[in-house]
Structure 1
C-alpha cells in the first residue's frame, strides 16, 4: 500500500474506535499486532505491552472500563514509507476517580501488507497518572 492508503486505513481505524466498533477495528491489525501503551501499570489500568489479537482486544476492554472519553480526535496524520504518525487530543474521565485526563498525544503505527503490525503511544503520562490517582495522592 502507498502512504495515502496507509493514512486512510489509520483514519478508518480511528472512526471505528470512536464508534466503539472494536470487532471491525481488530480486522485492521495483523495477527501478531503489538501495542505499546506507556505508564505505570499499577496506576494506569491499561498501560503495558500487548501482543497478538487476543491481548489487544483485552487492552480495548481495559481502556473502556477505565476511561469515559468526552473527546478523542485526530488532528493530523503524517506518513512515510510503512510508518504513520497521528497527532491528536483526548479528554476523558477516569471511571475509578472521576478525575479528568486531558492530553495531546502522538500515535506511531507500523504497517505491513495493508494492516497495522505495531502501535505505540506517546503522551503526557504524568497527566494520565494524575487522573487515576485519588485527589489526596501525589502524581508520579
Structure 2
C-alpha cells in the first residue's frame, strides 16, 4: 500500500469514527479550510425538504449543515460497513437508522461518502444515496411504510 493510500485511510477512518460517535469537533478537524462539501443537489419540489443539503465550502459551513441535520433528525444507529481507499480517494458505505423529530417517522438508508484527501485533510466530500426514505419520513407519509408490512 502506498504512503498516500495509508494517509488517506488514516484520515478517512478518523472522519468516520468521529462522525458515527457524534464527535463533530474531531470530524471537523479532518476537513481542509476550503473543503468542498457536496451533500446532494437540491431539486425543488422533490428533496428540498432536506434543509441540510446542497454544496458549501469550509468547516464552519459544514458544521452549519450538520447542525440543521441534527436539529431535524435523531440518528439511532450509524455504522461504517465498507471502506475502499486508493491513493487520495476514499469511499465509505454507511448504514444509518434515524428518526425525523417532527414526524416521528424512521428511515433506514445506506449511503456513500466519497472523500478526497490531500495533505492529511479532506478537501472534497460528496454523498450519494436514494433519498426517498428520508423524504417520506420528513413528510410524515406513513402509507409507504404501511404498504410494506
- TM-score, structure 2 length as denominator? 0.84
How far does the alpha carbon of each residue in 1:44-97 deviate from its partner, in whole angstroms, 9 at most, with x for none?
Answer: 121111211211110111111121111101111111121101112111001121
- TM-score, structure 1 length as denominator? 0.89
Provide the residue aligned with 2:31 in structure 1.
29
Note the C-alpha offset of 1:11: 1.4
Greater C-alpha Rg: 2
Q: Which of 137, 141, 145 is matched with 1:131 structurally?
A: 137
Indicate if the aligned counterparts of 2:11 and 2:117 stay in contact, CA closer than 8 A: no
Provide the residue aligned with 2:4 in structure 1.
2
| Unmatched segments (≥5 aa) in structure 1 | none
Indicate if the aligned counterparts of 1:46 and 1:66 stay in contact, CA closer than 8 A: no
Provide the residue aligned with 1:95 in structure 2.
101
The two structures, once aligned, show a CA RMSD in angstroms of 1.9
| Unmatched segments (≥5 aa) in structure 2 | 145-149
Question: Is 1:78 the equivalent of 2:84?
Answer: yes
Provide the residue aligned with 2:13 in structure 1.
11
